[in-house]
Amino acid sequence: MEKEPASKVELAPGVGGGGEIPTFDITLKVRRYNPEISDEAHWDEWKLTMYGTDRVLDALHRVKWEHDGSVSFRRSCAHGVCGSDAMRINGRNRLACKTLLKDLDTSKPILVEPIKGLPVEKDLIVDMEPFFQSYREIMPFLISKGHSPTKERLQSSEERERYDDTTKCILCAACTSSCPVFWTDGQYFGPAAIVNAHRFIFDSRDDAGDMRLEILNDKEGVWRCRTTFNCTEACPRGIQVTKAISEVKQAILTRRV
């Protein structure tokens, strides 16, 4: 790492790419619902010409900005870190801003629906409150007993690594709303809450692991998980969600973290 890179190198021809970005046509079908107008949901579709670097979010914006301003969805950062735009795209939970259109089968209509298991408010917008309620219940904050040191608490790189994967969560709800148990049992904590409990249970600085394990040992806790791996597949941050849930189950059985 410390060695100084060369002042000048020979670049491979065509390096970086770019230039003319290819275009292609898509059909975008969006599940519409607005109780101000009707209690029935329906599908609307648009034919659009899009670019090779465009994502599903770009297609939704194209519709909203050029065709129908009433199409409603949440979004903010537009590059997969804020967690606003989880939705069901061709039946799979993903972030609209991270799903490139060219990676989907554009010969068929692209179907976009709200995530499942949370009440739909309007079009792709769902009520996130039940999701955040479960999150808050697992006490998602560091609890440490004893005196606070003057400087930082020490933690080895290995101890830090132990819970690294679950710190990546952006609370987008893609995992929880992909879980068949959550669809049928709204009381289930769901994968995201367990992931966030895991983040603290396995943090060497935290002293409340037992309390969190007790909460998740509840009948609506980790034992409801049927290991279908939907959550792991849905996570846009690549968190090994099912593995994290299994580690929490194991910790409850052995009471050892």
Site residues for other proteins, window 69-98 (CB under 8 A)? Answer: 69-70, 72-73, 75-84, 98
101-140 binders of other proteins (CB under 8 A): 121-123, 125, 128, 132, 136, 139-140
Binding of other proteins by 177 (CB under 8 A): no
CB of 151 or CB of 219, closer to other proteins:
151
**CA 152 to chain centroid:** 31
Strands 92-95 and 86-89: antiparallel
Min. distance of Cβ 44 from other proteins in angstroms? 13
Binding of other proteins by 145 (CB under 8 A): no
Tell me the backbone φ, ψ of residue 47, rounded to 5 degrees: -100, 130
Q: Which residues contact 38 (CB under 8 A, 6 or more apart)?
A: none
3-state SS, 151-189, equals CCCCCCHHHHHHCCHHHHCCCCCCCHHHCHHHHHCCCCC
Binding of other proteins by 254 (CB under 8 A): no
Min. distance of Cβ 252 from other proteins in angstroms? 22
What is the contact mask toward other proteins in residues 178 to 197, using x (rule: CB under 8 A)? --------------------
Candidate segments 110-118, 164-172, 175-183, 242-250, binder of other proteins by CB under 8 A: 164-172
Q: Which two tokens stand for residue 54?
A: 């465009």
Binding of other proteins by 65 (CB under 8 A): yes
Q: From residue 154, how far is each of 147, 179, 205 by CA, in Å?
A: 14, 37, 8
Of 13, 22, 146, 156, which lies in the binding site for other proteins, with binding defined by CB under 8 A?
156
Number of residues that bind other proteins (CB under 8 A): 76
DSSP, res 34: -
Binding of other proteins by 9 (CB under 8 A): yes
Q: Which two tokens stand for residue 70?
A: 């009433």
DSSP, res 77: S
Min. distance of Cβ 58 from other proteins in angstroms? 11
